[in-house]
Amino acid sequence: MRYTDCMRRIVPAIVLLGFGAMTAVAADLPRKAPELAIGLEGGKQALLSSYRGKVVCLAFILTTCSHCQNTTRILTRAQNDFGARGLQVLESSIETGGEAMVPRFIQQFQPPFPVGFNNFATAQEFMQHSPMLILHMPGLLFIDRQGRIVAQYEGDAPFMEEDVQEQNIRGEIEKLLQTVGVRKTARK
């Protein structure tokens, strides 16, 4: 096969893959949050739907990830500061063996909110994250009082950069606590 013939076949395939990757990046926002059952110690579950009427900040984490641990510290402060106004933070470990790692994580960080576990595929589906792309941790979602996911971010988003993360999270929470209507927020 000649070089030009080969390129005529390869270039369209590369273009199609590029378009596929671009469309795979964007999650629909806002969207109704599907039910999510987060496994807790002792075989219990935290159902996302049981927090309807509250502003929910949901974080998918890895218990050994330093960025996730920092996010937990920020979310602990946010829960303490905004809980009385209607904020509910939830965290779910999505690493292999998360069920066994969560108790030690809770003991170490003492979060004032439920921390449980799910499998990676559940988090990926919940976030509408393409399996073709890397899910950068933590995954952080903001859910309004009506149960709609109005914003979500991954650990590599500018929103999650260490020097602005706490300010950005608190700003998102403040907006949701004050707002009843739907807002569109970019993913990255």
Residue ranges of the domains in the chain?
Answer: 29-178
Give dist(CA 149, CA 31) in Å, integer: 5
Asked if 72 and 59 touch (Cβ cutoff 8 Å), the reply is: yes
Consecutive sets of 10 residues in the chain, 188 residues long: mean pLDDT of each? 51 44 68 98 96 98 98 98 98 96 98 98 97 96 98 98 98 92 46
Q: Which two tokens stand for residue 16?
A: 């199609």
Q: Which two tokens stand for residue 168?
A: 């950005």
pTM value > 0.75: yes
Query: pLDDT tens-digit profile of 91-120?
Result: 999 999 999 999 999 999 999 999 999 999
pLDDT given at position 179: 77
How is domain 29-178 classified at the architecture level of CATH?
A: 3-Layer(aba) Sandwich (3.40)
